[in-house]
Structure 1
Amino acid sequence: MQEPRVLHTNKPDDAAALADKGILLVGAPSFKPNQVIVDAASPPQNLRLAFHGEGNTVIIGPQTRVKGEFSFAGDGNLAVIGQSPHALQCKLTFRRSNSAAFFGENCSSNAIDCLIEGDGRSLCVGDDCMFSWGIQLRTSDSHGIIDLAERTQINKPENVIIGPHVWIAADVIIMKGVHVGKGSVVGARSLVTKPVPPLSLIAGSPARILRSGVSWTRDSQPSERSIEMLLATLDPHGMSFTA
């Protein structure tokens, strides 16, 4: 950021400055300290923030345009949205404390719904990811499943990691503990419950690998130059994609 501004939600002047940026504080007025960090030159947002705890932080990168709602039920959570020229429509729900959601640079989304539940759990999205409509990313099943003989929960919350340059198509659900490798493509209406290797095309419910050694471009009909640039990005040493 060239000129970061740290705005405190429990200070009326800062709350007014947030509103001027298109960031509205919703719910009952709170005097608990939370903070939002934005660049002074960042474009207007269309974002609602609901803080029910304290010590939560939201960081929005410069040039980034966010539309949606972030809700914080606990304390000490962190949401970071990296710099991007693309619009990001996103709902973040933090159910516990000391959790994090991180979106890298140059990401885009038409509509994603992210649940970050479980103390200390995190959702991490790498650079240059593209999300379509109706997508759910979840670190938790929301309800416990109990092994009655052992008297233990068998579905505890787990982190979710989306590697760089991943394309997730419409109506996909990505469950707790999943790591989608870099460059991969997840087909529409897939249910992803297991790790996905890099440079893979997966689809289905549950999702399975349909093809390996593939990736994607934002252009629907990429030029030869675009393809070469993609190869250079995915494999800077030029070793993995020989004919």
Structure 2
Amino acid sequence: MLEIIEQNQGCNEIHIAPEYRENGVGRVVIRGVGNKVRIDAPKYCANLFLEVTGGASVDIEASCVFHGQNIHLLAPGHLRIGVGCGFNGHSIIQMHEPSSINIGAHSLFGGDTMVSSSHVHKIVDVKTGKRLNPPGDIVIGRHVWVSAGASVWCGANIGADSIVGKGTYVSKHFPANSLIAGNPARVIREGVTWEF
């Protein structure tokens, strides 16, 4: 059963596909005002928890697969999940500071993956007072496979048709058709793609 909780009734734009309202499993919690939430009908949804707070915008396109996802947008920003994306096993998408996360169509995420546009706690240079770990936008291109245990952080930009290896930490730009692995992440091989 899908549970929808809107803290301030009528102060947000909510468009959830009737099929998901009737047959979905999960919880949508909308706090504050000025949020925009659009969820098209998923292909399959075992469980989805979505929480937005004040000025967030969420756009989840049709035919996605959810199986135990937690999505927390706790700051003004935008999350887009493209058509036909799949999330297998528990995973987290979070935004604690203003930013955007854009996940391209037909991307696949393994269990225990994390996508986060900030590190939440600030690391500051003692001499200059400059923050060393600011929030940053995330772009995951079309048809990207993020393997189990991988994490994608602020500033990451992963080109289309790429593969992110198990346990990899990604926080910078990578070209399309790359096999990316390691901590820190690096291109292991170019000119590759993957198939279902």
Asked if structure 2 preserves the Cα contact closer than 8 Å seen for 1:44 and 1:65, the reply is no
Residues matched between the structures, number: 191
Is 1:185 the counterpart of 2:172 in the alignment?
A: no
Within 5 Å, give how 1:197-216 maps onto structure 2: 197-216=175-194
Scaled by the length of structure 2, the TM-score of the pair is 0.90
Shift of 1:41: 4.0
Asked if structure 2 preserves the Cα contact closer than 8 Å seen for 1:64 and 1:82, the reply is no
For structure 2, list consecutive stretches of 5 or more residues without a partner in the other structure: none
Q: Provide the residue aligned with 2:30 in structure 1.
A: 51
Partner SS, residue 124 of structure 1: strand
Partner SS, residue 92 of structure 1: strand
Partner SS, residue 136 of structure 2: coil
Scaled by the length of structure 1, the TM-score of the pair is 0.73
Partner SS, residue 173 of structure 2: coil
Q: Which moved more, 1:41-50 or 1:106-115?
A: 41-50
| C-alpha separation in 1, matches of 2:171 and 2:93 | 15
Structure 2 counterpart of 1:100, from 78, 97, 118: 78
Bigger proportion of residues as strand: 2
Q: Deviations over 1:29-79 (max 9, x none)?
A: 723423321233446111212222112122111344442211123x12111
Higher relative contact order (CA 8 A, sep 6+): 2
CA RMSD of aligned residues (A): 1.7
Highest Rg: 1 or 2?
1
| C-alpha separation in 2, matches of 1:149 and 1:78 | 37
Q: Which amino acid aligns with 1:176?
A: C
Identity %: 25
Q: Which amino acid aligns with 2:39?
A: I
| C-alpha separation in 2, matches of 1:208 and 1:115 | 24
For structure 1, list consecutive stretches of 5 or more residues without a partner in the other structure: 1-21, 219-243
Q: Provide the residue aligned with 2:8 in structure 1.
A: 31
Bigger proportion of residues as helix: 1
List, as ranges, runs of 4+ consecutive aligned residues in structure 1 with deviation greater than 4 Å.
none
Q: Deviations over 1:165-197 (max 9, x none)?
A: 101110001111000000000111111122111
Q: Which amino acid aligns with 2:104?
A: G
Is 1:69 the counterpart of 2:46 in the alignment?
A: no
Q: Provide the residue aligned with 2:139 in structure 1.
A: 161
